[in-house]
Amino acid sequence: MSYFAVDDGAHSHPKFMAATNAALGLWVRTGSWVAQQLTDGHVPGTVAKLYGTPAQARSLVAAGLWHAAGHECPRCPQPRNGDYYMHDYAASGNKSRAEIKARREQSAAGSKRHRDRQAPKAPPPGEQLDLGGDEPDPPAPVRAPIRPDWQPTREDIHAAQVARGDAGLPPLTADQIDSVTTKFIRRQTDDGRLAVAWGGRWREWAENERTASPPAPGSNVVPLARAAGGSTADTRAAAAFQLAAQLEAEEN
Three-state secondary structure readout of 18-58? HCCHHHHHHHHHHHHHHHHHCCCCEECHHHHHHHCCHHHHH
Instruction: Point out the least confidently predicted range of 105-119, 134-148, 227-241.
Output: 227-241
- Give dist(CA 148, CA 181) in Å, integer: 10
Residue 2's pLDDT is 75
63-67 LR contacts (CB < 8 Å, sep 24+): 63/15, 63/16, 63/18, 63/19, 63/23, 64/15, 64/18, 65/15, 65/16, 65/19, 65/23, 65/27, 66/27
Quick one: pLDDT band at residue 133, thresholds 50, 70, 90? low
Residue 172 has a pLDDT of 87
Q: What is the pLDDT of residue 22?
A: 95
Mean pLDDT for 87-105 is: 90
pLDDT at residue 83, rounded to an integer = 96
Taking only the tens place, the pLDDT of each residue in 209-224 is: 877 655 555 555 544 4
Cα separation of 40 and 28, whole Å?
A: 15
Q: Where does the pLDDT of residue 73 fall: very low under 50, low under 70, confident under 90, or very high at 90 and above?
A: very high
* Residues 32-56 pLDDT 10s: 999 999 999 999 999 999 999 999 9
Helices vs strands, H then E, count in the chain = 9, 3
- Looking at residue 214, what is its pLDDT? 54
C-alpha neighbours within 13 Å on the C-beta side of residue 144 = 8
59-73, 88-102, 158-172, 201-215: range with highest mean pLDDT:
59-73
